[in-house]
Amino acid sequence: LSHTIIPLALPKGTERFCELCQKRAYLECTGCHVTFYCDEDHQQADWVGIHERICQLLIPIRTQTLSQTGRSEILYKKLITICKSEAERKIAEGKHQEALPAAQFFLRCSTDVNGPSAVQLVPAYLLLAEANTGLGDLVSAMEFLSQAEWVVLKSPDCGHEILHRLHRSQGRLHTALGYLESARKHFANDIYHASEEYGADSIISCEGYFLLASVFVKEGKMPVVRSLYSQVKYNTYIMPHMYYFGHSVHTSFCLFFWQVEVDKTLTAILEFVQCDVIADLAQVVLVAHSLSMLWFLRGDSVKVSSVTEVVFDTVTQLHSEKSTATETTNESTLCIHTLYHSLNKV
């Protein structure tokens, strides 16, 4: 999908630079003829990362064939949407290397549209920081987060959504660096801004409680962990899946960004409450119930079956202890049992 170009053969004053590293380019994409690379490795990385999705969209922008300013704005917005969603999807899948080209182009388009100091650049900086954190390049992640923080400091009117995302990214990075006290502060700010923007019981706020609890787990402060886990509203993780249940695959794709984090969150909480020596057994059932609902809506009968065993064992223990939570756990157990058999019939 490329052919070689000779820099010295180009018209005087014309230079071509690599899409990824900005070094002198020697290859040209034969799909759009407006994108260049220093070598085949960078072309392949860009193709897999984002270029395959936007190849033809770049032609009118880079050849200046757009006749109307309005058309240019619409095309840039489309590019920004595609690059942002691709970067988010690949990060959710754990494909951090592939996410970098999409996040880089997201930043480039946002800069072209909004200028170099606009608050709209912050989401791109955060995606680049998250991708680099996933790759273990914490130095680069710190640089991107510093740029995001600087933009926010110069934009005192930026909303709670931007602030929550910035603090969450900073909390994750500081956790990876081992700066646990700083991580706690960032996650606490994350929870505050997420609660102001989405509500205290939203799935985004609940995820903040989980991340803050994960820091206390590292510090061995289990009473605080129990308290924070009690703030997680498990039903909030189910509602988005209930909304999209039965919709088309394309519509359900909107849920993909949540699924990895949701599974990780609820599975970690379930493992914790199961191993906790003073665990609230009713909470074990509630977490297991939420997981079984999610897996049922995804059609995963194997996982529903595995969590059913956990619930039955816990309910048996609750009965033996004559717990006051027996009625609640019986209802959860009945729901899980019904879900499992309904899924098997389907």
Distance, CA of 136 to CA of 83 (rounded, Å): 22
The one-letter code for the residue type at 141 is: A
* 266 occurs within a structural domain: yes
Distance, CA of 248 to CA of 65 (rounded, Å): 36
Q: What is the value of pTM for the model shown?
A: 0.77
Distance, CA of 205 to CA of 242 (rounded, Å): 19
Structural domain ending residue among the three candidates 63, 83, 104: 63
* 269 occurs within a structural domain: yes
* 267 occurs within a structural domain: yes
Label residue 14 left, alpha or beta by phi (over 0 means left) and psi (-120 to 50 means alpha): beta
* 209 occurs within a structural domain: no
Structural domain ending residue among the three candidates 46, 63, 80: 63
Domain count, the chain: 2
Per-residue pLDDT reduced to its tens digit, 155-204: 888 899 999 999 999 999 999 999 999 999 999 999 999 999 988 888 78
Structural domain ending residue among the three candidates 63, 96, 114: 63
The pLDDT tens digits along the chain (346 residues) read 666 776 656 666 678 899 999 999 999 999 999 999 999 999 999 999 999 999 999 998 888 765 555 578 889 999 999 999 999 999 988 899 999 999 999 999 999 999 998 999 999 999 999 999 999 999 999 999 999 999 999 988 889 999 999 999 999 999 999 999 999 999 999 999 999 998 888 878 888 988 999 999 899 898 888 888 877 766 555 555 444 444 443 333 344 555 666 777 777 777 777 676 565 666 667 777 777 777 776 677 777 777 666 666 665 665 565 555 555 555 555 555 555 555 455 4
Per-residue pLDDT reduced to its tens digit, 82-108: 999 999 999 988 899 999 999 999 999
* 186 occurs within a structural domain: no
Sign (positive or negative) of CA dihedral 324, 328, 329, 331: positive
* 84 occurs within a structural domain: no
* 124 occurs within a structural domain: no
Q: Which residues contact 297 (CB under 8 A, 6 or more apart)?
A: 238, 241, 242, 245
* 197 occurs within a structural domain: no
DSSP letter string, 303-330: HHHHHHHHHHHHHHHHHHHT-TTHHHHH
- In terms of C-beta density within 10 A (0-12 exposed, 13-18 middle, 19 or more buried), how is residue 65 classed? exposed
The one-letter code for the residue type at 121 is: L
Domain that holds residue 30: 1-63
